[in-house]
């Protein structure tokens, strides 16, 4: 997405390829002979998800969008900011004031929500990129696929020597860059908007559900974290009725293939915080040191890390020799399906050796025993978590530790063995345990990770295989994918 000095080329990849809730609620078959999932890929940077009448939509940067009926096969709706874009026809004139203020000809990460009047509201934003000179507004439509009609700008940032929304002279180290909106209802029906990228941090505002605009006299709202040009952006809020927490998802680092993008999460009992990470550290402290910019070392320890750049390397005896992994996955949204009780993480990803090409990915998500989300290692392929026996799990695995750093390095998998007697051996050593049908407890070098075992479709091997995803008390995630042999 975002406010950085990167010219992002949105690539539309319509390639067919083959292949990701709450662990206590989503159960099903353990069969391995089901038909393989069919995937159809699209490119939407910074995908924000919304469901409408049984169809899932993602809206993102550059006025790109796509839809799907199953979260696997996607159809591209729009790709770029042009006057023939079906979402906002004549967009250059419709949003002329926004483009003029932000000194740009494109739009960043959009968010769409249906408000109480039944209409769809698109929160759009534009930013110059090498500064927080940005504008954020809202447009409305009777149909989720548009056309949207502009209602006006609600926030501006980046002004030099002038007062910002709070009446104070704008200071980019403490005031927000008004991009990356996520508008959501809390469990009591109050409408909020969380937003921000780099600059002064991540902020939250109370919104008027009748007008779609912020309630008066809030300025830029309440600051949740960040500041001093921390590389933290893309906030997205999800409430879990199972844990009764609000989860604030964030992306750290830079979005490009060499930027080290990675996804983090914090939680709170209140939509406006205070938020803490898995170590109970207050997220208000997650910021760069005063007088610095992009001081990653200061805030890398904060926030539970869900996923960074990684690669499952092919094992020597595997039936397929392909590498599987992501580069700079990030700017996610999240979705809870009330009917199936499943949770999903939706994001864009780049890929090893493919430069800036990016596509939408959807992975199933579960909550571990400590109430923290763990993400399935492979993309969602219609799988159900099931009852497993030790014999289903024991075997050799490709193992990835996502660590806690912000780095452009790709975490390469190593080989470990989960023995049926509960021992872990190979590149790391320890113990593993299965309980409650699919709950995973894995202890490595004295650190305990809690999560789930899940049978998934491995695209490279074109077969079902066992996986695990677990998180430590320090907020570090480990993944495993059992090796497929002929």
Residues catalogued as catalytic: 46, 233
Q: Which DSSP state fits 97?
A: H
Q: Which residue has the tokens 């695209």?
A: 459
Q: Which residue has the tokens 């780099």?
A: 198
Alpha carbons 372 and 43: distance in angstroms, whole number: 29
Alpha carbons 389 and 303: distance in angstroms, whole number: 33
Q: Which of 214, 78, 242, 235 is nearest to 145 (CA)?
A: 78
End-to-end CA distance of the chain: 41
Strand order in the sheet with 65-68: 48-52, 55-59, 65-68, 74-78
Token pair of 275 as six digits:
């938020």
Alpha carbons 303 and 286: distance in angstroms, whole number: 8
Parallel, antiparallel, or unpaired for β 324-337 and 342-350?
A: antiparallel
| CB count in 10 Å sphere of residue 220 | 24
Parallel, antiparallel, or unpaired for β 411-412 and 310-312?
A: parallel
- Give DSSP secondary structure letters for 254-299: BSSTTTB-EEEEEEESSTT---B-TT--BGGG-SPPTT-SS-HHHH
Alpha carbons 450 and 370: distance in angstroms, whole number: 8
Report residue 116 CA to chain centroid gap: 26
Token pair of 154 as six digits:
């609600």
Beta bridge partners of 42: none
Alpha carbons 446 and 429: distance in angstroms, whole number: 9
């Amino acid at each position: 997405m975002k406010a950085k000095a990167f010219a992002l080329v949105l690539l539309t990849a319509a390639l067919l390829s083959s292949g990701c809730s709450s662990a206590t609620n989503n159960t099903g078959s353990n069969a391995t002979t089901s038909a393989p999932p069919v995937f159809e890929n699209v490119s939407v940077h910074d995908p924000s998800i919304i469901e409408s009448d049984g169809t899932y939509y993602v809206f993102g940067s550059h006025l790109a969008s796509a839809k799907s009926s199953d979260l696997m096969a996607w159809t591209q709706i729009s790709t770029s900011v042009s006057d023939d874009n079906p979402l906002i026809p004549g967009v250059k004139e419709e949003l002329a004031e926004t483009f003029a203020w932000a000194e740009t000809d494109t739009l960043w990460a959009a968010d769409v929500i249906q408000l109480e009047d039944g209409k769809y509201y698109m929160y759009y934003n534009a930013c110059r990129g090498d500064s927080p000179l940005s504008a954020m507004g809202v447009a409305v439509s009777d149909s989720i696929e548009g056309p949207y009609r502009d209602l006006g700008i609600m926030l501006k940032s980046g002004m030099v020597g002038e007062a910002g929304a709070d009446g104070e002279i704008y200071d980019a180290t403490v005031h927000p860059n008004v991009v990356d909106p996520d508008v959501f209802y809390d469990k009591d029906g109050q409408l909020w908007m969380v937003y921000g990228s780099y600059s002064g941090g991540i902020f939250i505002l109370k919104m008027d559900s009748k007008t779609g605009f912020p309630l008066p006299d809030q300025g830029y709202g309440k600051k949740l974290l960040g500041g001093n040009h921390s590389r933290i952006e893309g906030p997205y809020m999800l409430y879990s009725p199972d844990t009764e927490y609000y989860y604030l998802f964030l992306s750290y680092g830079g979005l490009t293939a060499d930027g080290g993008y990675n996804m983090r999460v914090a939680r709170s009992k209140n939509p406006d915080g205070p938020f803490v990470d898995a170590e109970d550290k207050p997220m208000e402290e997650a910021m760069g040191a005063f007088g610095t910019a992009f001081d990653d070392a200061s805030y890398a320890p904060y926030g539970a890390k869900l996923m960074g750049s990684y690669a499952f390397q092919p094992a020597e005896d595997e039936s397929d020799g392909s590498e599987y992994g992501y580069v700079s996955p990030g700017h996610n949204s999240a979705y809870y399906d009330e009917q199936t009780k499943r949770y999903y993480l939706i994001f864009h990803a780049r890929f090893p050796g493919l430069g800036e090409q990016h596509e939408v990915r959807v992975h199933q998500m579960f909550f571990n025993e400590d109430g923290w989300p763990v993400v399935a290692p492979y993309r969602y392929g219609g799988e159900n978590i099931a009852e497993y026996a030790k014999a289903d799990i024991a075997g050799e695995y490709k193992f990835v530790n996502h660590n806690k750093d912000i780095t452009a390095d790709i975490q390469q998998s190593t080989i470990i063995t989960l023995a049926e007697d509960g021992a872990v051996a190979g590149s790391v050593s320890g113990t593993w345990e299965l309980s409650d049908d699919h709950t995973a407890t894995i202890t490595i070098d004295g650190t305990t990770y809690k999560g789930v075992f899940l049978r998934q479709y491995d695209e490279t091997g074109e077969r079902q295989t066992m996986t695990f995803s677990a998180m430590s008390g320090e907020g570090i995630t480990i993944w495993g994918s059992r090796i497929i042999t002929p």
